[in-house]
Amino acid sequence: MPTFDVSNARIDYDITGDAGPLVVQLHGLTSSRARDAHMGLDLGRALREHRVLRYDARGHGGSTGSTAEADYGWDALADDLLHLLDHVAPGEPVHGVGPSMGTGTLLHAAVRDPERFRTLTLVVPPTAYKSRVAQAEHYRLGASLIESHGLSAFLELGDTAPVPPALADAPQSGPEISDALLPTVLRGAAATDFPARDAVARIATPTLILAWSGDPAHPVRTATRLHELIDGSRIVVARTPYGVMAWPGLFAEHVIMGGVAAHA
């Protein structure tokens, strides 16, 4: 697999497809591109006549990471994304899609470089703004738990969390981060947030928001707030596994229509 060096890390990535517009697919916190595919969240799989860039965020999957908590904030991850795009597709507008942490990363990148993106697809947006406070404390407690009692205690705590109805049939899997690095990544996630509301409201890129219900870490109210802030955005909420099964088709439609609009 090819790799690309960014500040304090080496990013592991792959590109499928030989021609067509580029799509960049991100993943969520503690996951990886392989784990997302295992969980049915590889939304780019329905695309035809596109190139799809998938990569593991720093510290996740096959990518290396640093011991600096600030390197795992969504603004820092947006730096990695934009540098990787400059390496893979310099000057080329791309379609961006990513769940949770990937959504936070895309928002920061789109605010910083709006001309870089043809479309955005924000998947299961995480807690943000006021709701981020409680989630941040949960991450800090998790980091301390790992350091004091080990990864198994952290995983046992996760097993008690409610499972969203849309994930009722999803396979179980563990974090795609090393035990030693996981506390640092969690603390970095605790210290980050979306860009300011007025900055998000200036996003003019065609945006699709895909949410699911019954998940306190990815509440529908965050998706609704983004829908309110981003003019012309579309929101779809999955309440069963069948709803999630429709997402690759919805994403492909959004990419194709966004590409048509960009050339109109």
User: Which residue ranges form the domains of the chain, and what is each CATH number?
Assistant: 3-262 (3.40.50.1820)
What is the pLDDT at residue 108?
98
What is the pLDDT at residue 263?
46
What is the pLDDT at residue 76?
98
What is the pLDDT at residue 163?
81
Query: C-alpha angle with apex 166: 162 to 167, nearest 5 degrees?
Result: 60
Average pLDDT over residues 198-208: 98
pLDDT digits (tens, 9 = 90+) for 124-178: 999 999 999 999 999 999 999 999 999 998 888 776 677 888 888 778 788 999 9
Sign (positive/negative) of CA torsion 68, 108, 36, 138? positive
What is the pLDDT at residue 260?
58
Task: Give the percent of the chain with pLDDT over 90.
Answer: 84
What is the pLDDT at residue 174?
85
Global confidence as pTM: 0.96
Distances in Å between the Cα of 228 and the Cα atoms of 97, 107, 206, 219, 235 are: 19, 15, 14, 15, 10
What is the pLDDT at residue 264?
43
* pLDDT above 70 (res 218): yes
What is the pLDDT at residue 146?
95
pLDDT digits (tens, 9 = 90+) for 100-120: 999 999 999 999 999 999 999
What is the pLDDT at residue 160?
63
Per-residue pLDDT band at 259 (split at 50, 70, 90): low
What is the pLDDT at residue 261?
55
Task: Give the percent of the chain with pLDDT over 70.
Answer: 97
What is the pLDDT at residue 162?
75
Lowest mean per-residue pLDDT among 17-21, 126-130, 169-173, 259-263:
259-263
What is the pLDDT at residue 170?
78
- Burial level of 48, CB count in 10 A (0-12/13-18/19+)? exposed
What is the pLDDT at residue 72?
98
* pLDDT above 60 (res 213): yes
pLDDT digits (tens, 9 = 90+) for 37-81: 988 899 998 898 999 999 999 999 999 999 999 999 999 999 999
